[in-house]
């Protein structure tokens, strides 16, 4: 079975946490069935991305980066770029964006689903039109004492943010209200 079909099965098996996830799950499955090149940026309308919600052992801090394009503190992640094994992709992205290698998944399963709107922007001197990110999030854990570093072409700062300060640090209100607060709530309610 190819990676896209495995990803489809994982999304089908995922139990939505709220109405946003129920609706986004339906749309993701529709895109998988109806769209071509859904794992690559060749699909200019919508493609898969993956994000990491990285918590410390006591679940009071989250590793975030100050994102150069959005000028805001944000989670780590990236594009599938043809690889439907999003667990593999997120480990690569975490290492690229933060230097962090000693990290563990807190679950073998998807932690969250969301469809994210991306406004048109410049990237490496080229204009990227508005599109959708069909995003899968995984929950991971790392020690705050481990060294981290920035990835200059993507972020200018990286650090552990107290969960109570995410709303003060991130300037993306929609993400704070709809995504980051959901993830914090879900960690508190479902993770031991």
Q: Answer whether residue 1 shows pLDDT above 80.
A: no
* pLDDT value, residue 69: 84
* pLDDT value, residue 134: 99
Q: State the CATH class of domain 3-190.
A: alpha beta
Q: Answer whether residue 62 shows pLDDT above 90.
A: yes
Domain range summary for the chain, segments of one domain joined by +: 3-190
Q: What is the mean pLDDT of residues 63-80?
A: 96
Average pLDDT over all residues of the chain: 96
Q: How many Cβ atoms sit within 10 Å of the Cβ of residue 9?
A: 11
DSSP state of 83: -
Report pLDDT digits (tens) over 94-149. Answer: 999 999 999 999 999 999 999 999 999 888 889 989 999 999 999 999 999 999 99
d(CA 72, CA 88): 26
Q: Above pLDDT 70, what percent of the chain?
A: 99
What pairs with residue 121 in β-bridges? Answer: 128
Q: What is the mean pLDDT of residues 150-174?
A: 96
Report pLDDT digits (tens) over 12-43. Answer: 999 999 999 999 999 999 999 999 999 999 99
Q: Residues 67, 137, 86, 132: is their CA dihedral positive or negative?
A: negative
> β-pairing, 46-55 with 76-79?
antiparallel
Q: What is the mean pLDDT of residues 45-62?
A: 98
The pTM (predicted TM-score) of the whole model is 0.95
Contact 115, 27 (CB under 8 A): yes
* pLDDT value, residue 8: 97
* pLDDT value, residue 175: 96
| Greater model confidence, 192 or 5 | 5
- Which tokens in the block code for residue 35? 């769209």
């Amino acid at each position: 079975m190819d990676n896209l079909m495995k990803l489809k099965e994982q999304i089908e098996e995922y139990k939505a946490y709220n109405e946003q996830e129920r609706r986004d799950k339906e749309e993701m499955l529709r895109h998988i069935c109806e769209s071509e090149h859904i794992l690559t940026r060749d699909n200019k309308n919508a493609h898969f991305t993956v994000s990491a919600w990285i918590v410390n052992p006591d679940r009071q801090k989250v590793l975030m980066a100050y994102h150069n394009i959005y000028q805001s503190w944000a989670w780590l992640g990236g594009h599938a770029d043809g690889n439907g094994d999003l667990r593999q992709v997120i480990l690569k992205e975490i290492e690229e964006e933060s230097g962090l290698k000693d990290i563990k998944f807190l679950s073998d399963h998807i932690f969250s689903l969301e469809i994210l709107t991306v406004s048109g922007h410049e990237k490496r001197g080229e204009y990227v039109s508005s599109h959708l990110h069909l995003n899968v999030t995984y929950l991971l854990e790392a020690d705050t004492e481990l060294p981290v570093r920035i990835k200059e072409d993507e972020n200018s700062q990286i650090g552990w943010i107290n969960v109570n300060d995410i709303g003060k640090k991130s300037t993306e209100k929609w993400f704070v209200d709809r995504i980051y607060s959901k993830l914090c709530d879900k960690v508190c309610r479902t993770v031991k």
